[in-house]
Amino acid sequence: MSIPTILACDLGTSQCKVSVFAATGALVALAEEPYATAYGPNNVAEQDPEIWWAALVKAVKQVIEAASPVACVALTGQMSACLPIDGEGRPLRPAMIWADQRATAEADRMEALIGRERLYTITGNPPSPTYTGPKMLWMQQHEPELYAQTAAFIQPKDFLALRLTGAIVTDHSDASCTGLFDLHARQWDEALLAELGLDREKLPDAVPSTEIIGTVSAEAAAVTGIPAGTPVVIGGGDGPTAAVGAGVTEAGRGYISLGSSAWVSFCKPEPLYDRTQRTFNYCHLVPGMYALTGSMQSAGSSYAWCVDTVFQDQRAAEGDFDQIVNAQVERIPPGAEGLIFLPYLVGERTPYWNPHAAGAFIGLHPQHTRYHLLRAVMESIAFHLRLIQDVFAEQGASADRLTVIGGGSRSAELMRICCDVFQKPLLHGMLTTGATSFGAAIAGAVGVGLLPGFEAGAQWAAAPQVIVPDAAMAAVYDPAYQRFLRAYELLEPLFQPE
């Protein structure tokens, strides 16, 4: 008898990843289809949802033969987007993704109308243009006819759910990253919406992440090759879903995700309300649990920017670019000979919540090469993640060791830098680069009864590799970290719009 499989679809910022997992947790097949983001002036960052669907279809077709029999499709994806659809489920405009920061005035208006403390207490999130709520207000203000035509504002993974099943629905985790969701009641806060002048009926119902929201339609089956009638489990936003894939499903555990953006997250049975509102809270996929999170906007995207800008010639040459360049970066002394980079290419969230923050190299001298630049970028990612950890530690949230997941964990040099900057053991597992998909597969397995609960998903995970810090590096990185913090403090006034 064939072992059932789960088709996990992860709609990230830069690509759609479709993974086939056996009901034993083994990865059977994987396909990735990239797509681009349209960046523009005034912090515009948009994606055409049709490219999401096209990428899903192409990726599914590459793995579907390995997926028989398919027990379910499980979804996950980037969070805090804003995609308006009409009554027929058709997109009315490109989606404003999480990196889109143009709704700054609307976030300020939310704070003025509701009060920062009240918003934070209800939603677990400080007001920010990152979130869906201010983006909806921006559309209401700047595109009123489109707002009026909108039947629902949905998230990226929810668009895939709509195309697969016809259902317009979201889950608790994605809803909790909109700035409009009651974190405790796990429902839209209707009083908050009324005060903001937003229509409750334009938001989809929110359900638990293990909910079967429908089955693959005959139309979707004809396009994708997924058998019609296959159950679709809604899954969750990529942050909380990655926590499941990283094995962070019980109190006291934490992880770091190194992707286009990056974050530090801990699992707790109650939200953490930071006294200065630097960190935020999501609903975890695990019922009754919360994902305490601090996020940086540009981690892997800072690395990609540096590579695309400074290493165009070398990237075009033959050979393993990453291996060659990492070998050169390893030769640069830790601390990059005093060179500092601020990785704030599209503003910053935790702890600054400054959409106007910008990137900068500081301390350039003639001896610095392009490899110094890249090392400074890599060290800046570690420095900012350490800053987020320090903010959590002040509030009593910490872990003796942290699991690291995401595409950045493929870089041995970045992992070494992070370990030495944090001065904390890091756990690097077999599926760290596919942890979000793995978490979605576990949610799907729970949803269709292949697993009795999320805790049983731990039996699927492989034993991680442990990376131990070099204590001598503290003498190098601690002063460099302090210079990094001081650099932002001194430059912050220059980032403000005139």
Within 10 A of 3 (CB to CB), how many other CB atoms are there?
A: 11
Paired with 205 in beta bridges are 169
* Distance between CA atoms of residues 174 and 78, nearest Å: 9
With a cut of 80, say whether residue 498 has pLDDT above it.
Answer: no
User: In terms of CATH architecture, what is 5-245?
Assistant: 2-Layer Sandwich (3.30)
Tell me the pLDDT band of 371, cut-offs 50, 70 and 90: very high
Average pLDDT score, the chain: 94
The confidence band for 431, taking pLDDT boundaries of 50, 70 and 90, is low
What digits encode the pLDDT tens for the residues 152-191? 999 999 999 999 999 999 999 999 999 999 999 999 999 9
CA distance 219 to 213: 17
The per-residue pLDDT for range 320-337, each reduced to its tens digit, is 777 888 889 999 999 999
Helix or strand run (H / E) with residue 264? strand 262-268
Asked if residue 28 has pLDDT above 70, the reply is yes
CA–CA–CA angle 290, 188, 10 (5° rounding) = 55
Burial 10-27 (b: 16+ CB within 10 A, else e): bbbbbbbbbbbbbbebeb
Share of the chain above pLDDT 70, in %: 98
**Chain segment 433-444, per-residue pLDDT in tens:** 688 999 999 999
Asked if residues 321 and 214 have their Cβ atoms less than 8 Å apart, the reply is no
Query: pLDDT value at position 320?
Result: 78
CATH number listed for the domain at residues 300-428+468-495: 3.30.420.40
Residue 429 has pLDDT above 80, yes or no: no
**429 with 242: CB under 8 angstroms?**
no
DSSP state of 68: P
pLDDT class for 196, splitting at 50, 70, 90?
very high
In the block, tokens 């059977």 appear at 28
**In the structure, what pLDDT confidence band is assigned to residue 7 with cuts at 50, 70 and 90?**
very high
Predicted pLDDT at 432: 64
In sequence order, the β-bridge partners of residue 7 are 20, 73
Q: What is the pLDDT of residue 434?
A: 87
pLDDT at site 388: 98
> For the chain, what are the domain ranges?
5-245, 300-428+468-495
Tens digits of residue pLDDT in 263-279? 999 999 999 999 999 99
Q: CB-hemisphere CA count at 13 Å for 236? A: 33
- Would you place residue 286 in the very low, low, confident or very high pLDDT band (cuts 50, 70, 90)? very high
Residue 318 predicted with pLDDT over 60 = no
pLDDT-derived band at 70, boundaries 50, 70, 90: very high
Q: Which amino acid is at 391?
A: V
Asked if pLDDT for residue 59 goes beyond 60, the answer is yes
Instruction: Tell me the pLDDT band of 430, cut-offs 50, 70 and 90.
Output: low
Confidence of residue 461 (pLDDT cuts 50, 70, 90): confident
Given a cut of 80, whether residue 458 has pLDDT beyond it is no
Question: Does 1 score more than 60 pLDDT?
Answer: no
109-132: pLDDT as tens digits: 999 999 999 999 999 999 999 999
* CA 426/CA 390 separation, integer angstroms: 16
Would the pLDDT of 319 be above 90? no
Which helix or strand (DSSP H or E) is residue 294 part of? strand 290-296
Instruction: Over range 459-477, report the average pLDDT.
Output: 90
Confidence at residue 314, expressed as pLDDT on a 0 to 100 scale? 79
Q: Output the pLDDT for position 407.
A: 87
Structure tokens at 322: 């990453």
